[in-house]
Amino acid sequence: MKTKAVRLYGKNDLRLEEFDLPPIKDDEILARVVADSICMSTYKALIQGEDHKRVPKNVRENPVIIGHEFAGEILEVGAKWADKFKPGQKFTLQPALNYKGSLASPGYSYAYIGGDATYIVIPNEVMEMDCLLTFSGDSYFGGALAEPLSCVAGTFHAMYHTTRGSYEHKMGIKDGGKMAILAGVGPMGLAAINYILKADLRPSLLVVTDIDESRLDRARMILSPEMAKKDGVELVYLNTGKIENPVDKLMEISGGTGYDDVLVFAPVASVVEQGDKILGQDGCLNFFAGPSDPNFSARFNFYNVHYAGTHVVGTSGGNTDDMREVLDMMGRGLIDPSILVTHIGGLDAVAETTANLPKIPGAKKLIYTNISLPLTAISDFEEMGKTDPLFRKLHEITSANNGLWNAEAEKYLLENAKAI
């Protein structure tokens, strides 16, 4: 079977190509990808090429398909897995396989599997590691966004606190405590807010900062303080770019105690240091944002480490249990993946979008891999709809859903957009 896919050949070298997939083996699965969400980690793989820890050293001779946040439909199942998986099932997967201790991952390391493709071959190790997950529902984009949402779930699970007088480490955030999410209204920050408002452990105070007022306004509209109050959380959005001394203001909002849990969502030294300065007693700082510079560093107050018990954790992804958790929460309507999506596009938009990802405003860029479509912001649907009936209808559908992407919009797009 032929597939069309965007392949990485090395640093800053992405190519949309058509090539043959090999016939599946008895321990493999053939699948059709429907939706892929472009991740900043893929941008890092593009600029680092073979120097990236997950990208093969011989990628120039043996290119890999990019994209690791994706969902699709199972088409054919090898005999080994026929009792567990069936053609027609919707699927997503956990790309961090950890197979035999290897960092190899779909979207970074494989020739025949990745999210930015029309058809893929799912290798045995994905199933062996229980990383192929089926789901139900009326859309594919929720499955594609399960991976980034699982990263958020894993972030909160990785945080911990201690008990004075003992050596016990209690995993998770401090229930009923004070939390700050810094640089927190990008796509992953929004996911974090949405998740923590519905999680079993919740803060009583959540302060979310950023320096982009338009992004803060969008966050206030989608995840409002009024909504958070219904979940028992006081939610405060703060533009630290307009404040002379953000640390003083953040400490004031905390009542002078500092914060039990601080999450840093931008790989910026000054933001990390700001997070350190607002930690309270036994405060846990999670450095979520992955830097592309291997020499990235920031100052940290070790006096407070010694006397106040402040500490740091870092997370770069969730695990399969985290994905199951968020798929279940989506299924129960507790978290809404649509709040993350600000742009849609086709497979032919992937290379340019990935290369320019840091420069493109908004949140998640959602790719539908079997169509041809330039990357388009949902906010531009109305203007484009004046001359294009496709966007006119998409604007009508999204406007009826508070301006958000949704299953009806996905269905209409897939039925009416130009095939790739």
Q: Are residues 211 and 125 in the same domain?
A: no
137-154 mean pLDDT: 93
pLDDT of residue 275: 98
Under DSSP, the state recorded for 173 is: P
pLDDT of residue 92: 97
Q: Is residue 358 part of a domain?
A: no
pLDDT digits (tens, 9 = 90+) for 223-266: 999 999 999 999 999 999 999 999 999 999 999 999 999 999 99
pLDDT of residue 134: 96
Q: Is residue 285 part of a domain?
A: yes
Specify the range with the lowest mean pLDDT, choosing from 24-28, 213-217, 414-418. 213-217
Q: Is residue 22 part of a domain?
A: yes
pLDDT of residue 76: 98
Q: Are residues 127 and 269 in the same domain?
A: no
User: In angstroms, rounded to a whole number, what is the distance separating the alpha carbons of residues 278 and 181?
Assistant: 11
Banded model confidence at residue 316, pLDDT cuts 50, 70, 90: confident
Q: Are residues 184 and 292 in the same domain?
A: yes
pLDDT of residue 170: 95
Q: Is residue 412 part of a domain?
A: no
Q: Is residue 398 part of a domain?
A: no
Q: Is residue 319 part of a domain?
A: no
49-72 mean pLDDT: 97
pLDDT of residue 150: 92
Under DSSP, the state recorded for 68 is: -
Q: Are residues 156 and 258 in the same domain?
A: yes
pLDDT digits (tens, 9 = 90+) for 94-140: 998 989 999 999 999 999 999 999 999 999 999 999 999 999 988 99
pLDDT of residue 19: 98
Q: Are residues 159 and 138 in the same domain?
A: no
Domain region containing 269: 152-314
| Whether residue 292 has pLDDT greater than 80 | no
Q: How many structural domains does the chain have?
A: 2
Q: What is the DSSP string of 89-126?
A: -EEEE-S---GGG----TTTS-SS--SSBSEEEE-HHH
Q: Are 238 and 207 in contact (CB under 8 A)?
A: yes
Both tokens of residue 88?
A: 């027609």
Q: Is residue 266 part of a domain?
A: yes
Q: Are residues 344 and 199 in the same domain?
A: no
Banded model confidence at residue 293, pLDDT cuts 50, 70, 90: confident
Specify the range with the lowest mean pLDDT, choosing from 28-32, 202-206, 337-341, 374-378. 337-341
User: In angstroms, rounded to a whole number, what is the distance separating the alpha carbons of residues 75 and 77?
Assistant: 7
Q: Are residues 122 and 246 in the same domain?
A: no
Q: Are residues 129 and 270 in the same domain?
A: no
Residue 169: C-alpha distances to residues 89, 235, 296, 306 (Å)? 41, 27, 28, 16
Q: Is residue 93 part of a domain?
A: yes
pLDDT of residue 18: 98
Q: Are residues 187 and 309 in the same domain?
A: yes
| Whether residue 291 has pLDDT greater than 90 | no
pTM of the predicted model as reported, rounded to 2 decimal places: 0.86
Q: Are residues 286 and 161 in the same domain?
A: yes
Q: Are residues 300 and 341 in the same domain?
A: no
Q: What CATH number is attached to the domain comprising 41? A: 3.90.180.10
| Whether residue 416 has pLDDT greater than 90 | yes
pLDDT, averaged across the chain: 95
Residue 31: C-alpha distances to residues 17, 89, 90, 343, 401 (Å)? 18, 10, 10, 25, 31
Q: What CATH number is attached to the domain comprising 233? A: 3.40.50.720
Q: SS3 sequence, the chain?
A: CEEEEEEEEECCEEEEEEEECCCCCCCCEEEEEEEEEECHHHHHHHHHHHHCCCCCCCCCCCCEECCCCEEEEEEEECHHHCCCCCCCCEEEECCCCCHHHCCCCCCCCCCCCCCCECEEEECHHHHHCCCEEEECCCCCHHHHCHHHHHHHHHHHHHCEEECCCCCCEEECCCCCCEEEEECCCCHHHHHHHHHHHHCCCCCCEEEEEECCHHHHHHHHHHCCHHHHHHCCCEEEEEEHHHCCCHHHHHHHHCCCCCEEEEEECCCCHHHHHHHHHCEEEEEEEEECCCCCCCCCCCCCCHHHHHHCCCEEEECCCCCHHHHHHHHHHHHCCCCCHHHHEEEEEEHHHHHHHHHCHHHCCCCEEEEECCECCCCEEHHHHHHHCCCCHHHHHHHHHHHCCCCCCCHHHHHHHHHHCCEC
Q: Are residues 140 and 177 in the same domain?
A: no
Banded model confidence at residue 284, pLDDT cuts 50, 70, 90: very high
